[in-house]
Amino acid sequence: MGVARYIKDEKDAIKETIYQSGISVKPVYGPEDLEAVGFDYQKDLGMPGGFPFTRSLHPQGYRSRAWTTRQYTGFGTPEETNQRFKWMISHGQTGLNVAFDLPTQMGLDSDDPRAEGEVGRVGMAVDSLRDFEIAFQDIPFDRIGSGLTINANATVLLAMYQVVAEKFGYAKDKISATPQNDILKEMIGRGAWIFPVEPAVRLVGDCIEYSVKELPRCNPVSVCGYHIRESGATPAQEIACAFEIAKTYIENVMARGIKPEAFVGRFSFNLNVFGNLWEQTAKFRAARKLWAKMLKEEYGVHDKKKLFLRGLFGGGGSGLTKDQPENNIIRGAYYALAAALGGAQTTALCSFDEAYTIPTSRAALLSLRTLEILMEEVGLRDTVDPLAGSYFVETLTKQMEEKILEEMKQIQKMGGMLRAVATGAIQREVTRQAYEFEKGIQNKEIIKVGVNKYIEGDHPEVERHEYNEAGAQKQIASLKLLRKKRDQQQVSLMLKKLEQTAKRKQNVMPVLVDCCKVYATVGEMTGVFRGVFGQWKEPGIF
């Protein structure tokens, strides 16, 4: 899986191993190592399903229930996405993870000049409720939960999801949706931000508050360390950033008079599995323990189920290569193994061709089958936390815990996550590390098979998902027809109401639901927020 640095002698024997989080690995581990890190069986490990949940959230782990498979899916028009949804479900997928195109993520309608060339390119194009009606046609909302990979305007898309579900006859208390809704990680590592930090975080809080009151099965935020890791953070920094971001959202909602016990149980996490097998496994085990301890000790949460670190462990996009792309099939299998050994509740693997294109149906199916083989053939459901008690793994888990706490303290020294993001301090650190990592690959300090070692001379042709200009034009034509047919007076009335609500700093979710019902567009609703909040100016990071 790479990423670790190996210092070798002239005979290729390993003299020293250093993980990306800065942990040096010994050749051999024994009981004395557990003693050295202060390992305590009851406090650090315990039984599966018991605090601090290092081993598993549930007493029987995967024996009682296999992990959910939720491959990232969506492209082109809503019609194409609906076909792919149904195809994946028919082949065994148990949840949806919806990809949106860049204009949708940035709150632009498909006919906006700024959307040219991007409509449907990296995900599904969504302009209005009409597109959701097409994309989710015949999807069983009461059985299939949906992750919505949307952030800056997650409020808009969650409102739209509620409306389409109700239109198809599903009560809002029966539907399960997880909008990513993590704007701080966008500002740190991905770039799909729109509004300044303060109102952007307030919108996250609106989503959480509304879900607590109106959408009992929805997880209103998926804190996404994944993209921070992809942008250059170490595994320890990934968890530290995710937890400091989560604390920022918790405090926003607490300021509204809502106790943490009422909502933290519905936080979920999207964590990366790219990297060294042992470091990743220890990372997940340490994170589960730290999250439970933090909620209990800092926020007074005592309900056992509210202490669970729930979410999706998967992806691994940074580990994939365009060179020798079939190697990514093997990489993906080991990423899935790390997620399973780390106790993932839900997994989604990047498909082997995702380094250079939207996944083909064949590649997406191979990723799904990889997860199913681990479940059904390899033995990952045989016993709970099979690595428990390993001198090496338990020592490493304790060391990862300490590294994560160190990184959290560093963020606090920057003035907390809000200030660290607003000033660009955290972005500078992550960007510097990404540069150092790339240098490590180029000078072969970090080995990447097929890229800087065991290289083949030829570059075989790969199957690409070409941009569909005709599909984009079809989407634009559909949008223009919608504008002609809808009740424009009602749309204007609702958008005005949305503007007033945003200016008064009231929760915008109920009004967004009404806006979606009258077929206001994503661009129109987001445009109202732009007018009220303005747009974030990214701080210089160099």
Question: In three state form, how does the secondary structure of 178-196 look?
Answer: EECCCHHHHHHHHCCCCCC
Confidence at residue 73, expressed as pLDDT on a 0 to 100 scale = 73
Confidence at residue 356, expressed as pLDDT on a 0 to 100 scale = 84
DSSP letter, residue 377: I
Could you check whether the bond before residue 52 is cis, i.e. omega within 30 degrees of 0? yes
- The H-or-E segment that residue 73 falls in is strand 72-73
Question: What string of pLDDT tens digits covers the 542 residues of the chain?
Answer: 458 889 999 999 999 999 999 999 999 999 999 999 999 999 999 999 999 999 999 999 999 998 888 777 777 899 999 998 898 888 888 888 888 999 999 999 999 999 999 999 989 999 999 999 999 999 999 988 898 999 999 999 999 999 999 999 999 999 999 999 999 999 998 889 999 999 999 999 999 999 999 999 999 999 999 999 999 999 999 999 999 999 999 999 999 999 999 999 999 999 999 889 999 999 999 999 999 999 999 999 999 999 999 988 988 888 999 899 999 999 999 999 999 999 999 888 889 998 888 788 888 889 989 999 999 999 999 999 999 999 999 999 999 999 999 999 999 999 999 999 999 999 999 999 999 999 999 999 898 999 999 998 777 677 776 778 999 999 999 999 999 999 999 999 999 999 999 999 999 999 999 999 999 999 999 999 999 999 999 887 55
Look at residue 318 and tell me if it is in a domain: yes
CB 175 within 8 A of CB 142: yes
> Which residue's entry shows tokens 């500078």?
428
243: amino acid identity, one letter: F
Look at residue 501 and tell me if it is in a domain: no
DSSP letter, residue 453: B
CB 127 within 8 A of CB 475: yes
Look at residue 447 and tell me if it is in a domain: no
As given in the structure block, the two tokens for residue 84 are 């792919």
Look at residue 282 and tell me if it is in a domain: yes
Look at residue 384 and tell me if it is in a domain: yes
As given in the structure block, the two tokens for residue 358 are 């939207």
Look at residue 279 and tell me if it is in a domain: yes
Look at residue 159 and tell me if it is in a domain: no
Give the residues across from 179 on adjacent strands: 148
Residue 262 to residue 513: CA distance in whole angstroms: 23
Tally the domains of the chain.
Answer: 1
CA distances from 35 to 32, 386, 400 (A): 5, 21, 16
| CATH number of the CATH domain containing 192 | 3.20.20.240
CA distances from 216 to 146, 312, 367 (A): 14, 20, 31
Look at residue 235 and tell me if it is in a domain: yes
pTM of the model as a whole = 0.95
Range of the domain at 338: 5-45+180-442
